[in-house]
Structure 1
Amino acid sequence: MNNNDGPDTNIIWHRSSIRKEDRQKQNGHKSVMIWFTGLSGSGKSTISNALQHELFKKKINVYLLDGDNLRHGINRNLTFTAKDRQENIRRTAEIGKLFVDAGIVVLAALISPFEKERLNARALYEPNEFIEVYVKCSIKECEMRDPKGLYKKVRKGEIKQFTGIDQPYEEPQNPEIIIDTTKLSIEDSVKTIADYLFNKVHIIPNTRE
């Protein structure tokens, strides 16, 4: 019985005969993790969903892991304590890694408030496979938008441990992309990220017809 956090020493990694590179070649594009982080109401889900639609139109195999949706399933046993938020991010990053290995572009939209946990998520991926998008928006603006009515519930004392109010949000130190949704429209935000993917990451090789 293994009492450590790592896998049991009797469990051996089984190497697949099909490599990630083989799947990417068959799909005709690279696979990456695009990690959206920001306050509730900043626009993470809206922009990531719009980006997913744009990439899908361009024949990119893409899938969105939305934080709220994951809490309806694989993460439904987790609360919003710091410890459970850590586990929430760990699970999502591990699931995303499987998608990337399958040759799929995966988007993850989570508040993910702590820099350390985002760095731990990044560490699971190879260089240039993890693209952090900071969806920047002031807490004042997010509260004015309040698309899910959560801030109202927080102010009434109905929700505790809410990021930006009674839990901190640590801004990313070195994100690949910053999207300020107080200045950019959804369309411009998607274009900014898509341009980065196609012109900097080159998710579609130049040789593709």
Structure 2
Amino acid sequence: YEKAKDKDADLVICDYAVEIQDTGKTVCPDIGKNYEGKPKEAFMKDLLKGKVSGFSWNKLYRRDLIERHKLVFPLRDELENIEDQYFSFRCLLYANTAAFVTKPLYHYRVHLSSIVQKYQAGLFEDGLALYEANLDCLTKHGELPALKEALHVFIVNHGCISILNECKSRNKNPSIEKYKNIRSICACPEFRGKIPAVDMSAFDSKKKLLLMLIRLRLMPAVYGFSAIYQKMIEHRMKK
């Protein structure tokens, strides 16, 4: 609140600590240090690219900003998995000034199973709906040219995450159902069509390999590699 008053900011974002209870590990992303003093567009681009999270609980919003632009969270059955990012992105878009607090004022305690292993049904469809909503929003407000590349990275990255989601250990669907869902994701024009257009430097080596297999339409290899990739993620988090 003091930062909001000092900077006359419409939006203030603070650092936070994530404590993974199963391992005792605590992670503190340096959000404030990385973005303080930079234009808000830098944060918006990295939000779309998945470099920062769109949580609503580490942000303070000017009430007038929300009321003036009629900003609301989508209903749970509309964007079940990513409603926070929908709201935060629009607040950033409309905010005249965004400020940052370089202290972890929020302590987030999570269980390993809730962030790594939990299967999210309909995850890809929710992300696709968010992509289309953001595309429409940015087009209407003339902001698409500045954020088009980041928006493309969002849908490509989201497609990869959704494929890995199908391979989570908590997904009890039969293998044939997982394979069918992965094929459906890979066949989506909005996802597949953006792969050749994005800068591959936005992705690590494992995602680059996954995207190459998708472009080559090697679906059995996509499924097999994704299963191995997801097991690696879960094993690393347990450590």
Pick the TM interval, shorter chain.
Answer: 0.3 to 0.5
Give the structure with the larger helix fraction.
2
Q: TM-score, normalised by structure 1?
A: 0.35
Work out which structure has the larger RCO, using CA pairs closer than 8 Å and 6 or more positions apart in sequence.
Answer: 1
